[in-house]
Amino acid sequence: MPNYEKSRELYERACRVLAGGVASEFRKFSAPHPLFYVSGSGSRLTDVDGNVYLDFTLSQGPLVLGHSHPEVLSAVQQASAAGQLYAGQHLQELELAESLQRLIPCAELLRFSLSGSEADHAVLRLARAVTGRNRFLRFEGHYHGWFDNVAVGVGGTLADLGPRDNPTPVRWSQGLPAQIEHESLVLPWNDLELVEQAFARHGNELAAVITEPVMCNNGCIPPEPGFLRGLRDICDRHGTVLIFDEVITGFRTGLGGAQTLFGVTPDLAVFGKAMASGYPISVLTGKKKFMQPIAEGKVIHAGTMNSGNPSIAAALATLRVLERDQIPESLKAKGELLMAGLADVSQRAGHPLRIQGLGPMFHAGFTKLPAVRDYRDTLAYDKPAYAKFVVGMQDRGIRLIGRGLWYVSAAHSADDIDQAIATAYDVLKAM
């Protein structure tokens, strides 16, 4: 059994000064308590007690090249030596914008922000401005950041959610404004019929439909064939803006995001996470017509820290490596091997571990359901069993995200994949 003693002591100290002992809600949930880390290199991470982990969290996704990639670190060092933040224009920002415009189908104009949450906030504001409408449609279990307007419909139990064809918008937090339940219409995902019905009733009130193109945040559920195309058609018919939240799919499923993979171009899209290997940057982008209100100053988007030198340099270096070494293709191949290996050992160990996703990211969870198509289906996952699995993996040197999402990076070797599969077998047999 590994020793977590120093982490435990530091966590107790942290609880006296950081609210909940952490800097982000999702970091609270590690067992036996949040751990303190001292370094990361390639596919591995070391904690303060000296335990080394093969890492499939990749810091919730950003580290698509693994920890401390030398080309990224060197680019950041050079850019930082030149200056941290000009709060003015610089050539690297322009070069990054031009690369993204070339790679992403909807990216006629773009702006840089710091986080996915901010960029999601901005695109919803754009959609309202362009359409003159107030409400938007989102899907149960999708995550679009933690800001007020998207803090309904993120979670909830079956009882909270109400009927499928008329769900209750479930609040995720206290302290939200009164009007947000009215502003967001929430539906189960992957069901075009329900979307058609909602548009028949509310089409002329809906500024936007916002969706993760793959439902990465719950179950890593791919879209049913025709679902994204169907959303595109419905939005076109009703003059509603289609937004893809590509914060996870971007730069992971391919350099043009899921919109390239599925061949459906949204009006607006948001990218973040993997684009800069862990440095704070996001992109809001879209067709000219939909970004124009920002260009004209009719919709405000701002930020003191936007386009800081280290983040822009990290993004340029990350993109260069992703493109040069065709990383998204290799992530898919590696991820699919890992998925197949986990499915095989779970079957051999006699556990119903369902593996679902695209390869570069996928979900594992215990359920006997033959198909998991939407958030309501994910509620059937046996979460306590998966929590035990995660602890078993961590105790054997493999770090996983507690809610079942796995991320694969360029730094994971064939041996790492084999190690993960063999360790999973040991843990499953012991469960």
Ligand X SMILES: Cc1ncc(COP(=O)(O)O)c(C=O)c1O
Which residues of the shown chain bind ligand X in the complex (CB under 6 A)? 60, 115-117, 120, 143-145, 212, 217, 245, 247-248, 272
Beta-sheet strand order (sheet of 241-245): 109-113, 282-286, 268-271, 241-245, 206-211, 135-139, 184-187
Rounded distance between C-alpha atoms, residue 118 and residue 44, angstroms: 30
Least gap, CB of 259 to ligand X (angstroms) = 14
C-beta of residue 407 within 8 angstroms of C-beta of residue 172 = no
Catalytic residues: 143, 245, 273
* CB-nearer residue toward ligand X: 143 or 290: 143
Cα four-point dihedral sign 82, 88, 93, 94: negative
Nearer to ligand X, 255 or 424 (CB): 255
Q: Which residues pair with 361 in a beta bridge?
A: 407
Q: How many beta carbons lie within 10 A of that of residue 370, not counting itself?
A: 6
The SS3 assignment for 349 reads helix
Structural contact between residues 319 and 251, judged by C-beta atoms closer than 8 angstroms: yes
Are 79 and 309 in contact by the 8 Å Cβ rule? The answer is: yes
CA–CA separation, 304 vs 88, rounded Å? 10
Q: What is the smallest separation between the CB atom of 115 and ligand X, expressed in angstroms?
A: 3
Smallest gap from Cβ 50 to ligand X, in A, equals 29
C-alpha closest to that of 216 among 294, 143, 157: 143
* Least separation in angstroms between CB 314 and ligand X: 14
β-bridge partners, 186: 138
- Comparing CB distances to ligand X, the nearer of 151 and 313 is 151
Name the residue number minimizing CB distance to ligand X: 116
Q: Which is nearer to ligand X, 185 or 220 (CB)?
A: 220
The structure tokens 């990218």 sit at 271
Smaller CB separation from ligand X, 144 or 232: 144
Separation of alpha carbons 130 and 166, rounded Å: 27
Sequence-separated (6 or more) residues with CB below 8 Å from residue 230: 192, 195
C-beta of 42 vs 266, nearer to ligand X:
266
Half-sphere exposure of 118 (CA within 13 A, CB side): 17
The least CB distance from residue 216 to ligand X, in Å, is 6
Quick check: 246 and 175 in contact, CB under 8 A? no
Shortest distance, CB of residue 27 to ligand X, whole angstroms? 12
Residue 198 Cβ, how far from ligand X at the closest point, in Å? Answer: 21
| Pick 123 or 424: Cβ nearer ligand X | 123
Q: Which amino acid is at 19?
A: A
